[in-house]
Amino acid sequence: MDTWFVSTVERLPGELKLVFIQTRKEFETEAAAKRYAREALNKGLRVEAGTLLGPQAHVSWREAVAWTASGEAGPRAREPAGESRRGPTPATAGGAPCPI
């Protein structure tokens, strides 16, 4: 079982300086983490998430809205550099790199 965390950041209203409140909660399932993150996003909070144990997964604040809307189950494990879910890139497959 993977343990997920959701971290939220809220800017204090009325403060002249940038003052933030950061909270972090742990969840036993990705679905529970997504529910909590969706509620936090609806309140206007900045959200990041990821796994604490098992395959490493990280959801940046820029990806949070799409992650909470996705129906995929299971963590998104980080791929090794140069790899993707579609297979090796030409540079990692021993082929010539594609000029851009």
Is 52 within the bounds of a domain? yes
pLDDT in tens, 25-49: 999 999 999 999 999 999 989 999 9
Is 61 within the bounds of a domain? yes
Is 49 within the bounds of a domain? yes
Is 53 within the bounds of a domain? yes
Q: Identify the domain containing residue 42 by its residue range.
A: 4-88
User: Is the distance from CB of 24 to CB of 6 less than 8 angstroms?
Assistant: yes
pLDDT for the residue numbered 71 = 73
Is 93 within the bounds of a domain? no
Is 99 within the bounds of a domain? no
Against a cut of 0.85, is the pTM above it? Answer: no
Is 12 within the bounds of a domain? yes
Who has greater pLDDT, 7 or 92? 7
pLDDT in tens, 59-95: 999 999 999 998 754 444 443 434 444 444 444 445 4
Is 83 within the bounds of a domain? yes
CA distances for 82 relative to 72, 74, 94, angstroms:
23, 22, 12
- C-alpha 50/C-alpha 2 separation (Å) is 10
